[in-house]
Amino acid sequence: MIIAVGITLASCGSSDKAEKNTNKPVEVMVNMSHFNSDSAYAYIEKQLSFGPRVPGSKAHAACAGWLEKSLKRFTPDVQVQHVRARAYNGNVLRGKNIIASFNIENKKRILLCAHWDSRPYADHDPDINKHRTPIDGANDGASGVGVLIETARQFSMEQPEIGVDFILFDLEDYGPPQDAQRSRGEDNWGLGSQFWANNPHKTNYRARYGILLDMVGVKDATFLKEGYSMMYAPSKVKKVWGIADELGYGKYFVDERGGYIIDDHYYINKIMNLPTINIIHLDTQSANGSFFDHWHTMNDNLENIDKATLHVVGDVVLNVVYRERGL
């Protein structure tokens, strides 16, 4: 697909023709692939087919192998970072951050990321008897991964000018259950991103900025300007939301401030000082007060994934990356 980016040029001539062209938008053509929401949906469905992707489970191991194999279809530059981290309850968890790169020789880079593990506890489910039951994590985890795998597929057909690194973080959602009051603490979450931020896959790794996708798949999702994104990378929020508005997605990318969310981007900003924003569904009217209604419940399943929302997020991400110049 080809998109036209308008650039305003002021005329310095004096002829009638030049005067008529003053401040007229000139189209600069940008080569783009077309985001396929059916494909992204299929990648989400495949992740869920393994079962809940709880660290240490057979489903977790099987999904990790599939994610690595899938990304290798689109780029040869795929590596697995083995993560060892201590959970809130003292258990040592072993996880895998899966990293794929495009244009590895280009020092000008963008980071795209999501988490692929799923929550071991349905601790917000209406049924208290299910609070220790693992969830599918269709929206919370799998949706962002599905969008990114489809984005990688598009890049394999039409490479962007900029270098791009994808990181699928593990051990993001193994924080304490809601009723474990004594185990609360922000650093109990995002264990995979904390590990990577302290041990990047490439020495002295840098990128222009990063974009995290989290909970990007339910119908009529609203992506507010999350607090830490605005704190650490306000210009990048402005860039992404501006492109979304230009594409006609203002209904989704709402021009309003949201709350501060401890998520993978928080540690990338805090530890690496790499400006990273979070595209995350924030809804103050939901039953959970901040996130979508089925957050951390047994109903976070494939039935609540909406292809229209996937298309919006994927289209915005593709536009953001393809418009970056690699100079």
CA atoms within 13 A on the CB side of 312: 27
Both tokens assigned to 78: 């795929």
Which runs of E-coded beta strand occur in 131-188? 163-169
Give the number of other CB atoms < 10 A from CB of residue 82. 10
The pLDDT assigned to 285 comes to 75
Q: Using CA atoms, how far apart are residues 107 and 244, in angstroms rounded to an integer?
A: 26
Residue 30: pLDDT band by 50, 70, 90 thresholds?
A: low
How does strand 223-225 pair with strand 253-257? parallel
Q: Using CA atoms, how far apart are residues 13 and 291, in angstroms rounded to an integer?
A: 55
Q: Using CA atoms, how far apart are residues 223 and 238, in angstroms rounded to an integer?
A: 13
Q: What is the mean pLDDT of residues 292-313?
A: 97
Q: Using CA atoms, how far apart are residues 193 and 198, in angstroms rounded to an integer?
A: 8
Q: Is the pLDDT of residue 19 over 90?
A: no
Is residue 2 exposed (0-12), middle (13-18) or buried (19+ Cβ within 10 Å)?
exposed
Q: Is the pLDDT of residue 229 over 90?
A: yes
The pLDDT assigned to 4 comes to 35
Cα three-residue angle 19-25-30, rounded to 5 degrees: 145
326 or 37, which is more confident: 37
**Residue 103 DSSP SS3:** coil
pLDDT single digits (tens) 248-302? 999 999 999 999 999 999 999 999 999 999 999 998 777 666 899 999 999 999 9
The pLDDT assigned to 3 comes to 35
Q: Using CA atoms, how far apart are residues 80 and 53, in angstroms rounded to an integer?
A: 17
Q: Model-level pTM?
A: 0.89
The pLDDT assigned to 14 comes to 32
Residue 5: pLDDT band by 50, 70, 90 thresholds?
A: very low
Q: Is the pLDDT of residue 242 over 80?
A: yes
The pLDDT assigned to 179 comes to 83
Helix axes 58-72, 37-49, angle to 10 degrees: 150
Report the chain's C-alpha Rg in angstroms: 20
Candidate from 32-41, 71-80, 180-189, 221-230 with smallest mean pLDDT: 180-189
Residue 24: pLDDT band by 50, 70, 90 thresholds?
A: very low
8 or 151, which is more confident: 151
- What one-character DSSP code corresponds to residue 281? B
Average pLDDT, rounded, for the chain: 90
Cα three-residue angle 241-219-48, rounded to 5 degrees: 105
Q: What is the mean pLDDT of residues 83-109?
A: 97
Phi, psi of 260 (to 5 degrees): -90, 120
Sheet containing 109-115: which strands, arranged edge to edge? 78-86, 92-102, 163-169, 109-115, 209-214, 276-280
All structural domains of the chain: 1-31 (no CATH), 35-322 (3.40.630.10)
Q: Which of 155, 112, 176 is nearest to 313 (CA)?
A: 112
| Residue carrying the six token digits 């595209």 | 279
Phi, psi of 41 (to 5 degrees): -60, -45
